[in-house]
Amino acid sequence: MFAVAALLYNWWLLEFLLPTGLDPRHSYVSELYAADQPFRWLFGGLESFCAVLVVTGSLLALRAVPGRWARLGWLAMVGQGMSSLADVLLPMACAPSAEPGCEAVHPWHTATSAFAHFFLFASMVLLSRAASRDRRRLPLIRRWGTRVLALALPAAVLTVGPLLGHPGWHGVPQRTHLTLVGVWFVLLSAELARAARRSGRTLLAPTRGTVRRH
């Protein structure tokens, strides 16, 4: 699920193929599904489907990777998915980068976006902590998790300009951030696949032993 989510989370690449009227360098990705935008149903639908995949995959992962820190990390991912879904349900009313008089701060949408970022970074910290405590599990996250966090966090911070009255070029770091989130989802997908293979070997081992005894 997270492999598909990694692709869907970067649905913004479609803006290069569609006449959105927005400049990717100077616009938020969420402007693409603002309430008055022509492709809002397409982009909002893709974002919603991605959020559902993240929530479902994270709930299933609660059993796949044991440990308190890991469980907290997956619960944070559930929060990230739910916040992303709320982001679509409470969209911007208009696109501030293209419409004079449109405010960059839409209180409910800004709040859901802030929660999505909080839960995302919390998941990175918690799952990286889980990986460091048990070196047999989550080796990819142990190696790459903090590196992705170190790049994604400043990229996210660089997007707040319009919220502080200083718009311009915030689209570049935001799209960089979204690409890094896609990398994070790929890491999660790979770790879950590895956990599933390990679980399969554990289940098969007693069967093999039984065959030998007979």
17 CB neighbour count, 10 Å cutoff: 7
The predicted-structure confidence for 33-53, as pLDDT tens digits, reads as follows: 999 999 999 999 999 999 999
The predicted-structure confidence for 159-201, as pLDDT tens digits, reads as follows: 999 999 999 999 999 999 999 999 999 999 999 998 888 776 5
Q: What is the pTM assigned to this prediction? A: 0.90
Residue extents of the structural domains in the chain: 24-193
The pLDDT assigned to 29 comes to: 98
Question: What is the DSSP code string of the chain?
Answer: -HHHHHHHTTGGGGGGTS-----TTTS-GGGGGSTT-TTHHHHHHHHHHHHHHHHHHHHHHHHHS-SHHHHHHHHHHHHHHHHHHHHHHS--SS-TTTSTT--S--HHHHHHHHHHHHHHHHHHHHHHHHHHH-TTS-HHHHHHHHHHHHHHHHHHHTT-GGGGT--SSTHHHHHHHHHHHHHHHHHHHHHHHHHHHHHHHHHHHHHHHHHHH-
Q: Of 157, 88, 165, whose CA–CA distance to 117 is shortest?
A: 157
The pLDDT assigned to 205 comes to: 47
% of the chain residues with pLDDT over 70? 93
The pLDDT assigned to 204 comes to: 43
Mean pLDDT to the nearest integer, 58-83: 94
